[in-house]
């Protein structure tokens, strides 16, 4: 059976002291989970987190990746540099980057492509705003966002991870219901099936106010293969509870 993936997105949180406390707390409780586990940390802390996680079951990820290989791109971090610190995953196209950094579907697709060609698994985020949901445009929006990535990546598409993160559920405490999430995941799965015979291998994560209390019901849905967790990933006990729910 396909392993689920529980990934924490720390966003712009942490400090040397807080990271150490959090990672030590996770390592003390994680045991041998049946799912894959990752933490996507601020890049400035990669060296610290890489050292703390070395040899453990928790993999390392980042929250963004450059679409370029190297060179004159001030402020960017080359994928090869991330690889030197053991990075396995890169979140791509998070709604906060689409919203605050103007990332278009094409930029997101190019970043996913660069990650794949660098041996890093992109976690491609898609999701509608509240206005788009209320206008009945949820399917149209998530399909358009995913189509750009499928178009740019051809047969490599089976190597990506997709995260459905409804924008209205992020950081609001208002998670999508398990039924709402499953409905969109089924749409995304069908779209991936039309693109590759290996679509069943692709992990589809849910993100948006997933927490210790609602994780089991969300993760129990047939097309939900894991979670991308923000706030609850900053508390060791909550994150461990979510990991334990991913059976
Ligand atoms: P919250 O879990 O804090 O809602 O954040 C979700 C998210 O954006 C993960 O990428």
The per-residue pLDDT for range 134-184, each reduced to its tens digit, is 999 999 999 999 999 999 998 889 999 999 999 999 999 999 999 999 999
For a ligand 1 pocket test, name from 229, 235, 239 the mutation site with the most ligand atoms within 8 angstroms of its C-beta. Answer: 229
Question: What mean pLDDT do residues 121-133 have?
Answer: 98
Query: Number of folded domains in the chain?
Result: 1
Provide the 10 A C-beta neighbour count for residue 33: 18
CB–CB of 63/91 below 8 Å? yes
Mean pLDDT estimate for the chain: 97
pTM: 0.98
> pLDDT at position 154, please?
85
- CA 34 / ligand 1 centre spacing (Å): 22
Which CATH number characterizes residue 46's domain? Answer: 3.20.20.70
Mind listing the pLDDT tens digit for each residue in 73-92?
A: 999 999 999 999 999 999 99
CB–CB of 160/116 below 8 Å? yes
Provide the 10 A C-beta neighbour count for residue 235: 14
> pLDDT at position 144, please?
98
- CA 229 / ligand 1 centre spacing (Å): 5
Quick one: how far is CA 39 from the chain centroid? 9
Structural domain including 227 reads: 5-245
Pocket of ligand 1 (CB under 6 A): 9, 94, 165, 170-171, 207-210, 228-232
- CA 139 / ligand 1 centre spacing (Å): 20
Neighbouring residues of 62: CB distance < 8 A, sequence distance ≥ 6: 40, 41, 43, 46, 77, 82, 87, 89, 90, 91
Q: Which atom of ligand 1 is nearest to the CA of 169?
A: 4
**Active site members:** 94, 165
Report residue 1's pLDDT band, with 50, 70 and 90 as the boundaries.
confident
């Amino acid at each position: 059976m396909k392993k689920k993936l529980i990934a924490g997105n720390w966003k712009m949180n942490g400090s040397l002291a807080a990271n150490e406390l959090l990672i030590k707390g996770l390592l003390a409780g994680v045991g041998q989970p049946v799912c894959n586990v990752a933490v996507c940390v601020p890049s400035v802390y990669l060296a610290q987190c890489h050292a703390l996680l070395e040899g453990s079951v928790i993999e390392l990820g980042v929250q963004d990746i450059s679409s370029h290989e190297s060179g004159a791109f001030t402020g960017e971090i080359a994928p090869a540099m991330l690889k030197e610190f053991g990075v396995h995953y890169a979140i791509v196209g998070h709604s906060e980057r689409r919203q605050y950094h103007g990332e278009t579907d094409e930029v997101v697709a190019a970043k996913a492509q660069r990650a794949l060609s660098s041996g890093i698994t992109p976690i491609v985020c898609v999701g509608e705003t509240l206005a788009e949901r209320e206008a009945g445009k949820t399917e149209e929006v998530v399909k358009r966002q995913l189509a750009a990535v499928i178009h740019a990546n051809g047969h490599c598409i089976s190597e990506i991870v997709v995260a459905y993160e409804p924008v209205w559920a992020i950081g609001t405490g208002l998670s999508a219901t398990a039924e709402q999430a499953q409905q969109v995941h089924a749409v995304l799965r069908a779209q991936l099936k039309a693109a590759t015979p290996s679509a069943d291998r692709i992990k589809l994560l849910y993100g948006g106010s997933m927490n210790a209390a609602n994780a089991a019901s969300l993760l129990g849905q047939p097309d939900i293969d894991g979670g991308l967790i923000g706030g609850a990933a900053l508390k060791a006990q909550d994150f461990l509870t979510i990991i334990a729910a991913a059976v």
